[in-house]
Amino acid sequence: MEIRPCTEKQLPEILDIFNDAILNSTALYDYKTRNMEMMHAWYADKQKNNYPIVGAFDENNVMLGFSTYGMFRVRPAYKYSVEHSVYVRPDKRGKGIGKVLLREIIKKAEEQDFHTLVGVIDASNTVSMKLHENEGFVLTGIMKEVGYKFGKWLDAAFYQLILKTPEKPIEE
């Protein structure tokens, strides 16, 4: 498995992974699938804000999964916090790919001097919750019934990892 930054070339594979999650899971609280126009806008936003998109690829250059992060909240004082995501193709789950991608995105956040990584995980996704706990994330709270999908109310678990960076935060 090779870990490397994703480019626009990988957007169709990312789109497939996103749309599978939308249609078949509560990993994304979306109802409708995304299209390539939406993916190009998503990618442009990541590039504009210097947010990484990291992919895991097999020996045939097929994407196995990806991780990324973006703005946590819009207020200036949140500038050292990011909300991250990790997605693995459904046929490749349970093979340690999510752990590798999560560790890589943590490393990227440290390199970019962020202080806090936030993960919002559907509370029924015990595999993702355990993955985050194993990597040092702490459950900071569960918001009850904040989503509705597949005919039921969904609870969102908030996980946080506090990093040692930045060395000298500033207010501006």
Query: What pLDDT score does 59 carry?
Result: 96
Query: What pLDDT score does 172 carry?
Result: 85
Segment 99-114 shows an average pLDDT of 97
**DSSP characters over 21-64:** HHHH-SSS--SS---HHHHHHHHHHHHHTT--EEEEE-TT--EE
Segment 102-117 shows an average pLDDT of 98
Q: What CATH code would you report for 2-162?
A: 3.40.630.30
**Residue 16 pLDDT exceeds 90:** yes
**Residue 13 pLDDT exceeds 90:** yes
Tokens 């994703």, residue?
6
Q: What is the mean pLDDT of the chain?
A: 97
- 118's enclosing H/E stretch is strand 116-122
Q: Token pair of 92, please?
A: 């490749």
Tell me the per-residue pLDDT of 50-78, one tens digit each, with 9 for 90 and over: 999 999 999 999 999 999 999 999 999 99
Q: Token pair of 61, please?
A: 């250059």
Alpha carbon 73 to chain centroid, angstroms: 15
Alpha carbon 101 to chain centroid, angstroms: 9
Query: What pLDDT score does 108 carry?
Result: 98
**DSSP characters over 55-116:** EEE-TT--EEEEEEEEES-SSGGGTTEEEEEEEE-GGGTTSSHHHHHHHHHHHHHHHTT--E
- Where in the chain are the domains? 2-162
| Percentage above 70 pLDDT, the chain | 100
